[in-house]
Structure 1
Amino acid sequence: MPNPEHRGPRPLSDVLGELFALRGYGRIHAMLALQAAWDAAVGEAYRARTRLGEVRRGTLNVTVDHPALLEELSAYRKGELLQALRDACPGSKIEDLRFRIGSVDS
């Protein structure tokens, strides 16, 4: 928040930092980086069949379009996917993945 007692020029980095925080650009940038890391980890075959949701308490929610895909990702590839996300987005602090079946249309 700007200091109302401070009148005069301020560093541009301070002003931009406040603007980005107010507009949520940091969160948007983090989600775009997470999406890119997910797309690379899951591969082209499953990219369109999954949709990332929000991260809550360190758990990334992922929607998938079919029960068989849910089983494959949760039972066989979860560790690999989680590690790929951690490596690509170390600041994301993702501790777990939770999969659910649903619509993945944009």
Structure 2
Amino acid sequence: MITFKFVTINENLGTRQLGEKVRFQLLDLMQENDKVVLDFSGVNVVSNSFADECLAKLLLIMPLEELKQRTTFRGLNEFARKNIAIAFRRRLNAMKAVKRV
């Protein structure tokens, strides 16, 4: 198990470009480790865009159940927790809509 500290990236995580860059870092860690702790301690803002690009797009690579087994969240403030939850919900709904077509 390894811990990824988001505060080392920035206290405010806001752009899709940054989210994409961090997602690739997370994927590398996930290939090398059974479990990754996603530590948001010290992070003030996680935007919907960052959350979707960095975290929710992991669902395009692995099912939700596997993602839950391989990651755990730590240190989220209420604002960041809500935005991450919204990003996952939207991504899951979009994926379900595509499957129905």
Q: TM-score, normalising length from structure 1?
A: 0.24
Structure index of larger Rg: 1
Q: TM-score, normalising length from structure 2?
A: 0.25
Higher RCO (CA 8 Å, separation ≥ 6 residues): 2
